[in-house]
Amino acid sequence: MKNRSAPPCAVIPVVAYPDVAVAVAWLEAAFGFRVRLKAGGVSHWTPLGNMHDAEVAWSPDSARLFVTWTETGVLGPWHTQVFDVTAGGLTEIPNVTRNVRADLVARMKKAPVPKWIETPQELSMWKTEIYCAEDVVGSQWLNGSNEILVVALAGPDSGCKYMSNFVAYRIDVTTGKILQAYSQNQALRAFGEENLPTVDPDHTEL
């Protein structure tokens, strides 16, 4: 399967930037550069340059891509959007991850009290925290371009119950249906560590 966005040459020059978002902003301001997609010899505008800290993952057949981006920076919220690559450019497949956040909150509400809670004072503090499920990040493509694996994280800060715990979801791209959910340990066994968050020793399986 030919990668339709790749230039037809044997050698492709690459420039590496330590902070891609800063580099893109500078190139746009200094030289008028724009983040574009080239398919079938035609360049198309894309929204990727407007997405903060965007990371793109192409499907194996180059028919689709997903992009993970954040509204504010490392603290998020993080979102994952999926696009078809067409002759006319990128067409978003809307709301692919729409079922993830509600499922994560439901799992947290059923989960046991975290292991680190040992005193009445710690339990009292924990009860004042909230359920956070704003961060959904893309992990990898599965089954060609038909499914994606995403990770939903239980909040980035200490005001969130089960902070930094996660659940991984295998999702049908066309329907948005959750095909399977994986706890942290299940996800690590099934997919390895490379594209998954680090698991804290005191984590709670959600």
Burial track 48-76 (b if 16+ CB lie within 10 A, e otherwise) = bbebebbebbebeebebbbbbbbeeeeeb
Looking at residue 60, what is its pLDDT? 92
Domain ranges of the chain: 53-206
> What local confidence, expressed as pLDDT, does residue 28 receive?
61
Residue ranges, the chain, pLDDT below 50: 1-5
Closest by CA position to 156, among listed 194, 129, 123: 129
Query: pTM of the predicted model, to two decimals?
Result: 0.78
